[in-house]
Structure 1
Amino acid sequence: MTKTVILGVIGSDAHVVGITILEQAFEAAGFDVVNLGVQTSQDQFVDAATEHDAEAVLVSSLYGHAKQDCEGFHQQFADADLEDLTTYIGGNLAVGQDDFEETRAFFREMGFDRVFDSETDPEEAIEALRADLDMRSSESEQESQYVSA
């Protein structure tokens, strides 16, 4: 079964090259990719995840304002009953970012499952997503076994 991922550049960011590379890499890896493009609002991510019954949402941001753009992001998904969605964010996420581990911790606290810097190879994100989605599938299968027992 093909896993559907929503991909987009959040906020007012108009950097298109990275998102295009990610789209091609995830498609080549066998994912069904819905690319929302640049300057994507939180509502557009939620609507696309709902419409396409997505397993994951991948957020890109290169202009350094992701902290502001992602404020309340996961609450939007919770309000749409999409709490189990896997969410990733990557790029140049903070202006003047000196310590990426601090930035990673900030976005993890925001609710993102994984946080990547702008130097991350797409293959690393692909392997991480495969592992995360397989893990969640296994948890769902275990839960359904308990229910049917």
Structure 2
Amino acid sequence: MVLNTMSQTVVLGVIGSDAHVVGITILEQAFSAAGFDVINLGVQTSQEEFAESAVEHDAEAVLVSSLYGHAEQDCQGFHEVLAEADVEAVTYIGGNLAVGQDDFEQTRRTFRELGFDRVFDSETDPEDAIEALREDLQIKPTESERATISS
């Protein structure tokens, strides 16, 4: 089934005790400009708040941001919380996920094992995440979007 971005909702927030707001502000603007309905939970968001918002807004995706390096601890049990709330959304995480992150492929494996569908580093262009989400949700670009992409 091919879906249009018009009704696609993403829940976005910074997990745990992290108070970094710049990344999610950029993501909110980029995903909104790409036609997604973005619910920005802000900073210091609990796992339960992500789950409650995903249910309330019938979200297709949950985007987790973390920049302070403690995301692994903050995300322990996250997918269990989502499952208990019957959230069946695609889950992404991105940012500076581990203190002293030298080997991002190991970090990526860690978060995939925690249940995330996609894992991005802090240098990822928002357009790459948007393209990945369109692929994961099987969204075809509109004709005007294709014209923009090809120019």
- Scaled by the length of structure 2, the TM-score of the pair is 0.87
Cα RMSD after superposing both structures: 0.9
Indicate whether 1:93 and 2:88 are aligned.
Answer: no
2:79 partner letter: H
1:119 partner letter: E
The DSSP-based 3-state class of the residue aligned with 1:131 is helix
Residue aligning to 1:8? 13
1:78 partner letter: A
In the aligned structure 2, how far is the partner of 1:57 from the partner of 1:101?
A: 22
Shift of 1:102: 0.1
In the aligned structure 1, how far is the partner of 2:22 from the partner of 2:81?
A: 27
Shift of 1:81: 1.4
| Higher relative contact order, structure no. (Cα contacts within 8 Å, ≥ 6 residues apart) | 2
In the aligned structure 1, how far is the partner of 2:7 from the partner of 2:57?
A: 12
Pairing of 1:95-114 with structure 2 (within 5 A): 95-114=99-118
Unaligned 5+ segments in structure 2 are 1-5, 140-151
Indicate whether 1:31 and 2:36 are aligned.
Answer: yes
Matched-pair identity in %: 78
1:104 partner letter: R
Unaligned 5+ segments in structure 1 are 136-149
Residue aligning to 1:44? 49
The DSSP-based 3-state class of the residue aligned with 2:24 is helix
Shift of 1:80: 1.1
Residue aligning to 2:138? 134
Shift of 1:58: 0.1
Shift of 1:49: 0.2
Cα deviations across residues 84-130 of structure 1 (Å, max 9, x unaligned)? Answer: 31000000000111100000000001100000000000000000000
The DSSP-based 3-state class of the residue aligned with 1:120 is coil
The DSSP-based 3-state class of the residue aligned with 2:30 is helix
Residue aligning to 1:67? 72
- Scaled by the length of structure 1, the TM-score of the pair is 0.88
Selected match of 2:119 from 115, 121, 130:
115
In the aligned structure 1, how far is the partner of 2:83 from the partner of 2:22?
A: 30
